[in-house]
Amino acid sequence: MVVCKFLMQISEKAFGKINISLNLTGEKENNYHFLVSLICFCNFYDIITVEESKKFDYEILNNINFGDSDLILKTIKMFCKKLDINNLPNLKITLDKRIPVGAGLGGGSADSAALIRALDKFLNLNLSAEKKMSIAKDIGSDVPACLLSKPLILTGYGNRYKEIENIDHKDIIIVFPNINASTKEIFSSINLDNIDKNESIYFENRIKEGIIFYNNNNNLNNYFSNDLERISTKKYPEIQKVKESILEVGSIFASMTGSGSACFGFFEKKDILKAKQKLEALNMGWKIISCQLMGSDN
């Protein structure tokens, strides 16, 4: 049984996730697809706050209700189970939700990871990195990566990852077309016969070779791609329009992130304001976010 002596208030940032590349090997196990992905995190985030309260309370700002799929509630349940805590002490959890839902930005997983970090600090548990990671792994495949929130290569079924050194910060624009894309639907639409099958090491080496080009803003299309983009754009054609628009306003490299529906583009810092204004002038009703991908020295 864990004895908790808690602080008064803790806030944690839940950083948005960007899949710079996402490739499938053609392998599948227990309904999960084997993938290799270069992941970075951006300084666009949700905020999780845990504070003292007279009773347990949970509030989501911005009028969002996740129902039975709420990862915050799942995280609380798993946190207590793994630490042999019958119930959390009276506290209030507030989620300031800024990352769009169904965008491919990993918002739910980032929130879960941020709550693990926040509860550890609030309850003054001083959990080891390994213990926090074991909790994260039992919640969802993206939660361990979000717990780290550092540039990494994710390999397998969400269970193997390696941090990347010497990767630069990047100025980006994210465009979300207000389409709530279902990750489950996109992955269930994959036809393995249409996948160019390669060993995972092929994609891992391609990512490693591409980092120098990533840092220098050239030849990016030779090294980074998203195998889910073709599937998602077939289901949601507007995603292709989003990507084309990002390129038309001067992006060095543009792609869809995750299973969509958001796309992102790299820009030179001096060009990003004008590019954002041009995208806003299209009046497409899209959510347009300028931010920065955080490099390895974050």
**Amino acid letter, residue 110:** A
70: annotated active-site residue: no
Catalytic position from the list 111, 142, 171, 227 = 142
271: annotated active-site residue: no
Catalytic position from the list 17, 97, 170, 243 = 17
- In the three-class reduction of DSSP (H, G, I as helix; E, B as strand; rest coil), residue 46 is classed as strand
Give the integer Cα–Cα distance in Å for 293 and 286: 20
Residue pair 72/58 in contact (Cβ under 8 Å)? The answer is: yes
Q: Where are the beta strands (DSSP E) in the chain?
A: 9-29, 32-52, 57-60, 91-96, 152-156, 160-163, 170-176, 253-256, 263-267, 287-294
Give the integer Cα–Cα distance in Å for 53 and 248: 50
Q: Alpha helices of the chain — where are they, by DSSP H?
A: 71-83, 107-122, 129-137, 143-148, 183-188, 200-216, 229-235, 238-248, 272-281
Residue with tokens 């969802």: 140
Q: Show the CA angle centred on residue 7, arms to residues 5 and 13, nearest 5°.
A: 125
Query: Rounded to a whole number, what is the largest CA-CA distance in the chain?
Result: 58
Give the integer Cα–Cα distance in Å for 86 and 133: 21
Catalytic residues: 17, 142
